[in-house]
Structures are given as structure tokens and as C-alpha cells.
Structure 1
Amino acid sequence: MNTQTPAPGTEKVLGAFSSAFGGAPDGVWQAPGRVNLIGEHTDYNEGFVLPFAIDLAARVAVRVRPDRTVRLLSTYGRQGVVELDRDALSRESATGWTVYPAGVVWALAEHGVDVPGFDLVLDSGVPLGSGLSSSHAIECAVATALTELAGAELAPEELVLLTQRAENEFVGAPTGIMDQSASLRGAAGHAVFLDCRDQSVELIPFDAPAAGLTVLVVDTKVSHSHADGGYASRRSACELGAEVLGVAALRDVSSADLAEAQGLLDDVTFRRVRHVVTEDERVLRTVEILRSEGPAAIGALLDASHASMRDDFEISCPELDLAVETARSAGAIGARMTGGGFGGSAIALVPTTAEGRVREAVTAAFAAAGYRAPDLFAVSPADGARRVG
């Protein structure tokens, strides 16, 4: 460690590292989870997204070893220390949460980075399965740590693609580049306007507190997994739609083309396409409004996004719908599910003066419906992945 005083928030991971491996790590790195303000399932269609990094993060304490052994421990798991062979990593050898750091090591090696053996302890404050990208926070923290320790100088854009490859080819989840881009390239007080075709990024001011607003997350506690079939089937439908319409990706279709598309596609594929096309346009409109009017004016776009995901993309669930509807009726200016869907979280943009009322209403509605009690918490845009100790 470079300092005698632990950086704020690192005490737990440092203590766990000392207990498990003895001594101090070479450093501590963190990467945030993300909330997607708007732009769902547009990333792998080469479209537009508008996420922001949040003030909940995964932290890793890492120390290089003199051999080729990788030892991994999580503060929240029950696996204990998992030992892997750095030169024989495979999807079969890694289990549970260890697939994420193992996948990063594999992807770095495929890129030509000689990652040494290492000891690693993970401590994550990003709720698992909540739709806030806990897996990508882990991957980005590990990638940031290992590239520095290996002496590799990789741009954020390169790390985005490396962590995507880890997720796609090692973990087996066909995700796009949005989550990694937010985690690696985010900045406090801003949303990340990402063009997923060329990876260009513009930071858009999104200071909800200054506008008297709070971004309230409702974690429904309905767990989801991107590695299951629901996500993959939506992606396949989008690829089919692009093929039939003769475009490289649905990014190249506009709402003016939808009438013709409806005649060429089966009903389900058409509705999947319509969601992506209209969602891209909602992202662009949201960026325009944030630039000109500020966050208080984007509520209707959040609402329309949720309706599209519920009806056209069919990735919502009763708990998410209830969270969104109840938040709106209790005073939110807009609300939508966020993340890949099939569970996870909703976000509500709420006047700060109404936050307590919205929290109470959502909690009461879940209890009345017989659902598991949700977790509700506020988030703010935060800085991206970095060394913190």
C-alpha cells in the first residue's frame, strides 16, 4: 500500500485481505455499478444509451504473487478462498462469482497482456441481481487493477471491449458495452451519453439534487440473470429484424420505417424492433432536454420507455410494473424499469420533498400484493473505475 491511512470505504476489503492472505495488498481499486437513465437493449443494436455510474461500487484488494496461482475470496460469498491456475483458466474451472475475475484474466491474456498470479479479495456494495450491473462492476474493478499491476497501458475503450469479451465468451452472457462504459468512463454529476456504434462518449450534466430531485432505486428483489434465455432471445429477435430489414443494425432504422417493417416481420419480432427504434429516439430526446431544460423535464420519456419495455420488449414483471405505477401515483415525475429486465430494479425520478411519500407508498403496495419487501435507496452519479488505495 502507498499510504498508512486506508482510503474511506476500503477498511472492510483491507481487513478481509489481511485475514485471508496476511499483510497488505499492492493496492485497492474500485468500479461503480450503474443505473441506466434511459436506453434499454439498444446497446447491442449499435444504438444510443444514457447510463450513469453510481455511488455504489465493487472494490478489489490485489497483491501480485511470484507464481502462476490465482487465489480469490469474496466478503459476501460462502465459497471461501478459491484457487485457480492462471494458465489453465476455463469456464469449467471457475464457479460462482469467480467467473467474473477469471473471465477478465482470460480476456487480458487473449489480448496479449501477461497477467501474473495474484491474491484478490472482493467486497461489493452493488446489490447482486438488482439490475445495477454488479457483475460488470466486478469485472471493471478487476480489469483496472490487473492492467495497472501488469504494467499494461490500455485506454478505457479497450477495457470496455475486453470486459465485454469476458462477459460474452467466458461468462456466457451476450451483453453489449453499456455497463462497462458507464463503470469505466462515468463522472460525478453527469450521465454518459454513449454511441454504441463507435464508442464515442459525451458527458451530459445530470445533477438531480441541484434540481431538487432524487433518483430513487426500487430493488424488487426479483433476481435475474443475463446468462439465461430471455436476454438471448431478445437479442436474436433484434438480429433477425435487422437482417430482414437489410440494415447492419437496428440503429439504422427510424420510426418512419416502422410501418413498412410491420409488413415484413412477424408480430413478436416487429414489437422487439419497435422498442429498440423508439428507445433510441427517446435517448436522443432525453439528451436534448437535459441540455436545454434539465432533469425535471424528462419524466414523460422515462414513462414511455417503461411502457415500451413492458409491452413491446416484454421484459418487465409484475413487481417492476407495480413499483413504477406506485411511484408515479405517489409523486414521481417519471419512472421506469432499468437494466436487462426480467426482475431487478426500477428507478423513479422524484422531487426530493416527495421521496419519503414515494418510499412509503411503494413499500405498502408490495406488502399489499404479497410481494417480498423491496429495497429502496437513492443514488447519485459518481466517478468511474479508479485506484482508491
Structure 2
Amino acid sequence: MMIGIDNEVRRFKEGNHLEKAFTEKYGHAAEFIAVAPGRVNLIGEHIDYHGYSVLPMALSQSIRIAVSSNDSSQLHISNTSGDKYKDYSGSISDLDIKKGSAPSWHQYVLCGIKGVSENVKNSEDLLGMNFLVEGQVPPNAGLSSSSALVCCSALATTQANKLSFTPSELASICASSERHIGTEGGGMDQAISFLAEEGKAKLIDFDPLKSSNVVLPQQVVFVVAHSGVEMNKAATADFNTRVAEGRLGVQILAVINNLEWKSMKKAKELQKALKRSTKEMLALVAETFHEEPYSLSEISDLLEISAEDLHSQHLSASVQHLRSFELRKRLRHVFTEAARVEAFRDTCEGGGDLSGVQSLGDLMHDSHVSCRDDYECSCPELDELVDLMMKNGAYGARLTGAGWGGCAVAMVAKGSEDVFLRCLKKGFYEKDEEGRKRMDDALFVTAPGAGAHVVFPRDDLDNVELPPPNNFY
């Protein structure tokens, strides 16, 4: 059964440039276009991999892949920006994904295909495919361009092979398959890409994966601005270091509280096992850990294992070079951020009066301070940008995405966005020639966009098998 698209077949627009580019590249028309959006996370940073809820919304900007199948068992992957992203060809039965620094762009495409192949009975029967990729999501900007590419590739593979997965299943598949490239994320990016609905933010819950709508105040809009610092979380150890530090802190707390610790990896698992409130977990962190970093020997002593076993069995390859770990600050961020997400949702449910809007803004800014000081995932350019946003009337502003560069998001009063954008241009981007060059692409107003979907050509409608109701957004 072919996946569904909201009970409606979406059509190519007349003169679609991606369709034309595909025909020029491969000599025949595309069968369909797969679309997967990027996202902006409003609040809930670095806590999805600890099992806590997050609150993102999809962007209108997306990754799009024009697709046709072939009977050669070969993958041909190209990009509309071919001068920057080189072509790739290879066998669909031999998906060579390499972990390491600065992975090639096509590796993310392979992750999506591999995820689908690992979840079908006869992966050797998957068709060869021709892909032409177009990216509208700024890369290395904290807007989930790489995860959107993985999701779009998985959706394209599913459609080309007439497989059937629910949106939640595809989100879980993509969250797992992206780890082939070495990123130990938690699933937020993939979940919002598949579960998003136009006009609505989403509260994403994990274990099991589910989502619920969050109605944002009507009197605000969100402005996204790039700091000018690019950050690829798979290209450095920063992201995986934070995952390791949080996990080690959780495991030490499990040992101290006489719990089985080796399988305990998420703060929410620990909180459930201890049956304590978030406030009580914060108190436990404060009384257990000192503020200074922990050495390998200190951690191995607390876990009652040898330093060699800690290094070889409990640290992933990307962080085995580390010799010290921040524990108290990292867990303090996790628990306070989880509380902020709950407060943000509750405030949205309480209505949109001015005091409520300002409370949302305060939560966003508090989140940035915690990311900056406790999780240490900001950078000077992001801090400058957030400060400028706050000084120019934003209710709240924060970094969004993994951090260490990328974008900030601000919540501003509807109707004030034009003045706000001019202030950011003058105060941040027009200071140098490089900023002026990227200004138009680096700064935009956004609203919640639609989730991943498939677009069919107008001439192919009679051949499309319509989906069952509500099978795919």
C-alpha cells in the first residue's frame, strides 16, 4: 500500500523547476517529489535524548527530492547545487556510511535509505533510485537540515517501493538510522518533520513517540536569524560529549540510589524509577555533584568499575579522547529545561493575554541562559544576537538547535516584525561585508509549516493509489 498524504494528492506546480531540472539530469520525468521540512525548536533544547518532551514547529522551508525508480539496483544521487555537492552513485545493497568528521552530504541520504532497508523483510528487493535533491533549509544553521535530508530520503525510498509506514514509524526509523553517521540525537528533529501540521506547533513526547498540538498566541510571530557561525553536529565531538556527560551523571545517580545503572541512559528513566519531581531531581543533583569537572578516575570510582572498562564499554568512539566531564551543570540544564517546556505548554493552554505572552518570552530567554551557562552550547555570536533581539523588543529569544553556532529564534509582537528585522539588519548584519552578503537569506519571519509529504505530477493522478484516511500527514 502506498503511503497516504492527508487524503489529498498534492500536485506539481506548473513549471516546477525541480521537475525540469530532474528531466534535464536523468533524461526522463520524475515520478514524484518527496518533501520534508526543517524545524525551529521553540523550547526544549538537548533534552529529547534524555526522554523529555520538546516543543518545536516545522518551517515552511524544506528538503525536496525528485525521484524515479530504476531496475539496475543502483542509486544515483545528485543535488541542484552540483557545484557545491558532488554526485554519488552506488549499489542499493551496499550502503557505505562512514562515521567521522565532516560527513559528505550524500551520507545523510544513505542514512534514510538504510533506515528503510533495515525495517523491511526483503531489503534485497528494494528498487534502484534516481534522486535529485534541493535544499531550502540553510545548512549547519540549527534548523535540522541534515535530519530533514534523512527524513526526505526515507520518505522517498518508502514511496518508490510502495511500502507502508506510519509517520511515527518513519520518524523512529530516521532517528535510529541517523546514528549510522555518528550523531547520538534523541528524535525531536525527525518527529517534527513527520508529525508537523501547518499552523500548529507540536509538543513531542517520547517512549512512546506521540505528539499533541500547541496553540501559540495569535498576537506574536517568530523571527529566525542566523548567527553567521556554521555548526555541523556530526563534524565535532561537542554534541556527543554533552550526550555522554548527561548519561554518566544519570548512571552515577542510579548507582548511588541502588538502581541497575548500566542500561540507564536517560534522565527521565531515572526520574521515573526514583518517583521524584523535577524539583526534587534538581535538589538531588545539587547535593550529589560538585561544580568542578569530573575526571575519568572519579567517574569510574563512583560507578565502581575500572577506568579501562569505563573507557572501552561506556564511552562511544567519538568521546573516548575526553579526560574530564561536566556533570552537575549538564543535568541542571536538563531538569530545568524539562520544567520550562511544561511551563511553556501550560501557559499556551491558559490563553494568550499579554502576561501569558511575556511569560512565554521569559521561559525562552531563561532557556538561552541555561544553554549558554550550564550546557555551554552557545557561542559569542549567538549571545550577541540574542541580546540584540531582547534589546529591540522581543518578548523572548534563544538559540535554537544544537547550538555552537546556527540560529536564534525570537518571539515578537505581530505587526512589529518589519521594524524588528530592520533593527537586526542594522545592529548585526550590516556591520561587515560578509554579514551584508548573507543578510537576506539569514533572517526571516516564520510560522508553523506542514509535515513531510509526497507530491505527484499532474499527469500521473490516474495512476496514484489513494491512501487510507489519516495514514500520513
Amino acid aligned to 1:214: V
1:242–1:80 distance in 2 versus 1, CA, 3 Å: closer
Which residue, out of 377, 383, 387, partners 2:450? 383
Amino acid aligned to 2:93: D
Rg larger for: 2
Amino acid aligned to 1:377: F
**Whole-angstrom distance in 2 between the partners of 1:272 and 1:8:** 48
Which residue, out of 119, 124, 127, partners 1:111? 119
CA-to-aligned-CA distance 1:27-81 (integer Å, 9 cap, x gap): 1110110010100001000011001111111111110001110000111242443
Which residue, out of 198, 204, 213, partners 1:194? 204
Amino acid aligned to 1:29: A
The answer to whether 1:131 aligns with 2:142 is yes
- Structure 1 residues not aligned, in runs of 5+: none
Question: After alignment, is 108-117 or 62-71 more displaced?
Answer: 108-117
CA-to-aligned-CA distance 1:179-220 (integer Å, 9 cap, x gap): 0000000001111111123212111123x5xx2322100011
The answer to whether 1:296 aligns with 2:390 is no
Contact kept, 8 Å, 1:174 with 1:226, in 2: the verdict is no
Alignment partner, residue 468 of structure 2: none
**Whole-angstrom distance in 2 between the partners of 1:13 and 1:6:** 13
1:296–1:9 distance in 2 versus 1, CA, 3 Å: farther
Contact kept, 8 Å, 1:337 with 1:347, in 2: the verdict is yes
**Whole-angstrom distance in 1 between the partners of 2:159 and 2:80:** 23
Note the aligned Cα RMSD (angstroms).
2.2
1:45–1:9 distance in 2 versus 1, CA, 3 Å: farther
**Whole-angstrom distance in 1 between the partners of 2:430 and 2:158:** 49
**Whole-angstrom distance in 2 between the partners of 1:153 and 1:199:** 18
The answer to whether 1:203 aligns with 2:237 is no
Q: Secondary structure at the match of 2:341?
A: helix
Amino acid aligned to 2:17: K
| Length, aligned pairs only | 381
1:21–1:86 distance in 2 versus 1, CA, 3 Å: same
Identical columns (%): 30
Write out aligned runs for 1:103-252 (5 A): 103-112=111-120, 113=123, 114-169=125-180, 171-206=181-216, 211-227=218-234, 228-246=236-254, 248=264, 249-251=266-268, 252=271
Alignment partner, residue 469 of structure 2: none
Alignment partner, residue 339 of structure 1: 401
Which residue, out of 278, 291, 302, partners 2:336? 278
1:41–1:85 distance in 2 versus 1, CA, 3 Å: same
Q: CA deviation at 1:372?
A: 4.5
Alignment partner, residue 427 of structure 2: 365
**Whole-angstrom distance in 2 between the partners of 1:56 and 1:40:** 21
* TM-score, length of structure 1 as denominator length: 0.92
* TM-score, length of structure 2 as denominator length: 0.77
Q: CA deviation at 1:24?
A: 0.7
